[in-house]
Amino acid sequence: MTGAGGMLGRAVVERATSLGLDVHGATRAELDVTDAETVQRVLREVGPAAVVHCAAYTDVDGAESEWGLAEAVNARGAGNVASAAERVGARIVHVSTDYVFDGSKRVPWVESDPVAPLGVYGDTKLAGEELVAAANPAHAIVRTSWLFGTGGRNFVDTMLALGAQRDEVSVVTDQVGCPTWTGHLAGALVELAERPEETGILHVAGAGQCSWNELALEIFERAGIDCRVLPATSEQFVRPARRPAYSVLGSERREPVLLPAWGEGLAAYLATRVAVS
C-alpha cells in the first residue's frame, strides 16, 4: 500500500497486520508516486494482489498555491499507481474525498451525484478518480470525509490542544459532514481490497452527521474539558480554499459499506490517546 506513513495509511497497515495479512507498506520517502517508473518497478518487485492507495496531498489550503504539486500527487500519482497495479494484475482501492462536491445539497450525496469541486484539492482528487478508473478496471474508489486518527494533523487533536489552553473557542456551524475515524475506515479499506466484486465509486464515512461546532462540543464533553464552544460562520474564518457547506456522504448501493456512528469513532480514538499517554 502507499502512504503508509500517513494518518490513514498507518491505520490500514495496523489493521491488515492484525488480520495476519502479508502487508508491504511504502511511505512517501520509500515510494514517490509521481515517479511512474519507480512505482512500476516497486509493484513488480512486490507483486501485490491488491493495492490500497492512501498517498495524497491533503493540505486543502496549501493546494490553492501549490497546484502543480497537488496535481502531481493526487491526480497523476494516483494514475501511476493504478496503472502499475493493472500491469501486475492487482486490484486498487483508491481513497478520495467529499470535496469533489460543491456542498449545495441538503441531503446526503450519493455516488452518482454530479461533482463540482470548489477548489484545487477537490479538483485534483477528482482528476485522480478519473485516472484510476481509466487505468485499472479492477478499482474501488472510496470517497470519505473529515478524517481523524493517530499520526497526522486533525480537528480532534486541534480542539484538544485549544481546549487545554483556552476557556472558549469559536467553531463554525455552517459546515456539516461525517467525521470518520481512521481506525474504522481502515477496516473497510482492507475488506474492500479482498472483495474483487466491489468496483466503482463507494461512499464510506462515519454514520450520522454534524457540524464542526457540534463535533467540538462532543470532543470536549467526552474528553472532560471545560471549554465553551461559541458559534461562528465560515465568513468569520476566511481561508484560501472554499469548503463545501454540506458534504454528508450517503450511498445508493444495494449493499453499502457501513461504518459505525461518528461518535463511536470519536470515543474509540480518544480511548487510544488515553492508552498511549
Which amino acids are annotated catalytic?
Answer: 121
Paired sense of beta strands 168-172 and 228-232, if any:
parallel
Residue 201: strand, helix, or coil: strand
Strands (E), the chain: 50-53, 91-97, 139-144, 147-148, 168-172, 176-177, 180-181, 200-203, 210-211, 228-232
Q: Which of 85, 205, 99 is nearest to 133 (CA)?
A: 85
Could you give the CA distance from residue 7 to residue 180 in angstroms, rounded to a whole number? 12
- Chain centroid to Cα 132, Å, comes to 16
Could you give the CA distance from residue 150 to residue 104 in angstroms, rounded to a whole number? 31
